[in-house]
Chains A and B, each alone.
Chain A
Amino acid sequence: MLRPSPGDLLKGVRAGLQSSVLSALPKGAAQRQLKAALHLLERLERSWDLMGAHLAADNRDIETTLGAIDDAGLQTQLAEAPGAAPSGFNCPQLRAAAARNIQLQTVLDAYAARHNAPEVEALLRRMAARDSILIGDTLP
């Protein structure tokens, strides 16, 4: 691996910008932009490496929960190939997992809109809890 790690790099960039750039900027639009960027860097420090585990857990949970529902149409949708991957991913495996996640969420969203099923409600709550970890609100 290469050190400093990406988390360390993000931390270093944030600290450098905060100490030497932010203090040099007058109040105004540029300062507001930098403050927003620093806030984002701080969140990425806490969460940059969580996406792989998140997508794996989310996809597994949605597949298992929806896969257990006796609905032929639903099972056909789950078996379909994912669509295009969302932008911003470099790792091929991660890109594929992200594409699958979007597909599974689309199937889930359509199913949940038609059926008021307790197991789907429970799934949505587990997904919300995982999202909180992904963005760095909750420790993994």
Chain B
Amino acid sequence: MSDTALIAKLTKLLERDNPAWGPVRIAEVTPVFGGNARLAWAFDAHTASGGEHACILLAQVAGKHVESDTAEEYAVLRAMNGHGVCAPAALGLDTTGEVAGGPALVLARMSGEASAVDFLKLAPEVGFAATSELARETAKLHAFDWQGAGLKAAPNPVLHEIEQWESRFLSHRLEPLPALAALFRWLKANVPVPARLSLIHGDLRPGNFLFEGAKITGLLDWEMAHIGDPAEDIAWIYRALWSPEKFLSFDGFAAQHAQLSGIATPRRNLTYYRIFSEVKFATISVSAAASYAAGATENLRHIDRAAKIPEAVRLCHQWIDSEKWEGADAAA
């Protein structure tokens, strides 16, 4: 599609979804890196009243390894906007793929850098301050009144999330992977009671937030957001591959989060979600391998993702052995 055609469709979308802006003018669009699962274009939208809005268009690509519902992501962002959560303003939704070929969102473009590699290279004192800031923003998210904002949860959201991932695993696995299947059974048999049901980002980690020095300027990529246990986000932030542990310990982060959010997450929930995180990461790896095997993607980062599974399973066994699980709360 030419830039001219894309601009015309974008203009129409923004005028439809932001009637208060009046006529919109977009001079140019610039392709930018949108991650493994989305195409992205940066642009500025000018309104008749002289307003200028820095925007980004994010469109799903075919063969992505994490299924997501763009309309749900848009609804979550709209619910949060204006409530103090560090998330981009949602400005446009195209569920049909008319604008860019796949379901797409237009979001306010926030300043800052997203690179996980660069984040983890910050000087220790800056990294500590930035990770503490991340604990603060995570706490604000988890304290957000999602019910008051009109969001809904599944009847048993914690178990529902596990079942969703298990369903993805079963439908994408290229071989039985019995050890991973057994871990899903373990997760379902040991579901803890959350200290609070919160809006969970679902993929919060270095690489999915913007930072400028020690300041966190925006939490990105809300396509896996759902209602669940705050321990889930904390555990995911501290997965070994991208963990900010060298700046602030896992326990230190959890303590800051508890103090700032007022949510006292039990130790066992945190360990449980470290196990869940590994199972989820392994499942994403299973999906990525299946996507590559099916010819749905040529992204070579997916080709060998199955090799990530053994380490995830090994860590699960280690964490299962680290706690006494009999008499678990069994929220299920």
Interface residues of A (CB under 8 A from B): 32-33, 36-37, 39-40, 43, 86, 102, 105-106, 108-109, 112-113, 121, 124-125, 127-129, 131-132, 134-137
Report which of A32, A86, A137 forms a contact with B310, defined as CB distance below 8 A.
A137
CA distance A86 to B185 in the complex (A): 27
Given A40-B300, A43-B307, A131-B309, A102–B314 Cβ distance below 8 Å?
no
Given A109-B176, A128-B310, A137-B310, A37–B181 Cβ distance below 8 Å?
no
CA distance A129 to B316 in the complex (A): 12
CA distance A33 to B317 in the complex (A): 33
CB atoms of B175 and A125 under 8 A apart: no
Given A43-B304, A113-B185, A129–B314 Cβ distance below 8 Å?
yes
A121 and chain B: residue at smallest CB distance? B182
User: 4 tightest CB-CB pairs across the interface, nearest first?
Assistant: A36-B300, A131-B310, A109-B178, A105-B176
- Which residues does chain A contribute within 8 Å of B251, judged by CB atoms? none
Distance from A84 Cβ to chain B, minimum over Cβ atoms (Å): 13
CB atoms of A33 and B178 under 8 A apart: no
- Which residues does chain B contribute within 8 Å of A109, judged by CB atoms? 176-178, 181
- What 6 new A-B contacts, CB under 8 Å, besides A36-B303, A124-B182, A135-B310? A36-B299, A36-B304, A109-B177, A113-B181, A124-B178, A135-B307
CA distance A32 to B117 in the complex (A): 14
Given A113-B185, A124-B182, A128-B317, A102–B176 Cβ distance below 8 Å?
yes
CA distance A113 to B313 in the complex (A): 17
A107 and chain B: residue at smallest CB distance? B176
Distance from B242 Cβ to chain A, minimum over Cβ atoms (Å): 16
Distance from A49 Cβ to chain B, minimum over Cβ atoms (Å): 16
Given A108-B178, A109-B181, A113-B181, A32–B301 Cβ distance below 8 Å?
yes
Report which of B303, B313, B314 forms a contact with A40, defined as CB distance below 8 A.
B303
- Which residues does chain A contribute within 8 Å of B314, judged by CB atoms? 128-129, 132
CB atoms of B176 and A36 under 8 A apart: no
Give the interface size class of chain B: 20 to 34
A-B pair count, CB < 8 Å, reads 63
B8 at the interface (CB under 8 A from A): no
- Which residues does chain A contribute within 8 Å of B179, judged by CB atoms? 124-125, 127-128, 131
In terms of DSSP, what is the predominant structure of the interface of chain B?
helix
B212 at the interface (CB under 8 A from A): no
B317 and chain A: residue at smallest CB distance? A125
Identify which of residues 268-316 in chain B touch chain A, using a CB-to-CB cut-off of 8 Å: 299-301, 303-304, 307, 309-311, 313-314
Given A124-B182, A132-B314, A137-B311, A108–B303 Cβ distance below 8 Å?
no
Distance from B325 Cβ to chain A, minimum over Cβ atoms (Å): 13
- Which residues does chain B contribute within 8 Å of A37, judged by CB atoms? 300
CB atoms of A112 and B310 under 8 A apart: no
Report which of B175, B304, B310 forms a contact with A102, defined as CB distance below 8 A.
B175
Report which of B175, B307, B310, B313 forms a contact with A105, defined as CB distance below 8 A.
B175
B307 and chain A: residue at smallest CB distance? A135
CA distance A37 to B302 in the complex (A): 10
- Which residues does chain A contribute within 8 Å of B175, judged by CB atoms? 86, 102, 105
B189 and chain A: residue at smallest CB distance? A116
CA distance A109 to B176 in the complex (A): 7
Q: 26 A-B contacts, Cβ less than 8 Å apart? A: A33-B299, A36-B304, A40-B300, A102-B176, A105-B177, A106-B176, A109-B176, A112-B182, A112-B185, A113-B181, A113-B185, A121-B182, A124-B179, A124-B182, A125-B317, A127-B178, A127-B179, A128-B179, A128-B310, A128-B314, A128-B317, A131-B179, A131-B310, A131-B313, A132-B310, A132-B311
